[in-house]
Amino acid sequence: MKRTALVMMLCLFCCAAILPAQTVTQAAGEKEGERMVGQLVEVRSIVQAVDLETREVTLKDEEGEVFTVVADERAQNLDQLSIGDKVLIQYYEQLTIVLEKVEGAMPSMSEQVAGERAKKGETPGGIEMREVTITARIDAIDMEASTVTLTGPKSRSVTLEVDPERLKNVKVGDMVSAVYSEALAISVEKVEAAPTDK
């Protein structure tokens, strides 16, 4: 599956984080009836400014692009950030499509969220994970093009290219499942204070 298909699926069901990507690693594969595509985005940046009142952090990436992020209230250690600190943001997303029938189901979406954050007083950082399970209806199958058209819980449709062998086991009207996973990890490397002259 090409990256285009992943983007289309994310637009259909989910909303992925948008970051000024510096390093992108993509992967795709199939196993036991599943088709998977994923990518890892890494952004390395340096803190330019911290506004504790608005919780805005201004960062500059390795290409000199300046961007601002807003830390939510769960980020307890914003006051530990200093200008010059190095920040590594890693964002991973994966979509797994399982062309297997889900009996008696309707288009739906369920979500699970988990995470871990630095304790109060520690260097800022943490990881947050989200997994969304989607049940979609097959509205069209094109055996010649090896494509399937799915309609999700928001009545939006997308056409994806799949292994033609998988299409032999499903038909129009069948419900199939897809799992979208994402993880966001942030780590901070504190800048060392310059030595003082005695």
Structural domain boundaries in the chain = 3-188
Which amino acid is present at 38? G
pLDDT score of 131:
86
| Other Cβ atoms closer than 10 A to 114 | 10
Listed residue (110, 114, 111, 142) closest to 126, CA to CA: 114
Give, in degrees to the nearest 5, the angle at Cα 10 between 5 and 15: 155
pLDDT score of 20:
57
pLDDT score of 190:
76
In angstroms, what CA-CA distances link 84 with 47, 121, 171?
5, 19, 57
pLDDT score of 6:
42
Which residues contact residue 24 at a Cβ distance below 8 angstroms, ignoring those fewer than 6 apart? Answer: 39, 40, 41, 42
CA 13/CA 157 separation, integer angstroms: 10
Residue-wise pLDDT tens for the chain (198 aa)? 334 444 434 434 443 344 555 566 655 566 655 666 678 888 889 999 999 999 999 999 888 999 888 887 777 788 888 999 999 888 887 777 777 777 777 888 888 888 887 787 777 788 888 888 888 899 999 999 888 888 888 888 888 777 787 788 889 998 888 787 888 888 888 766 545 555
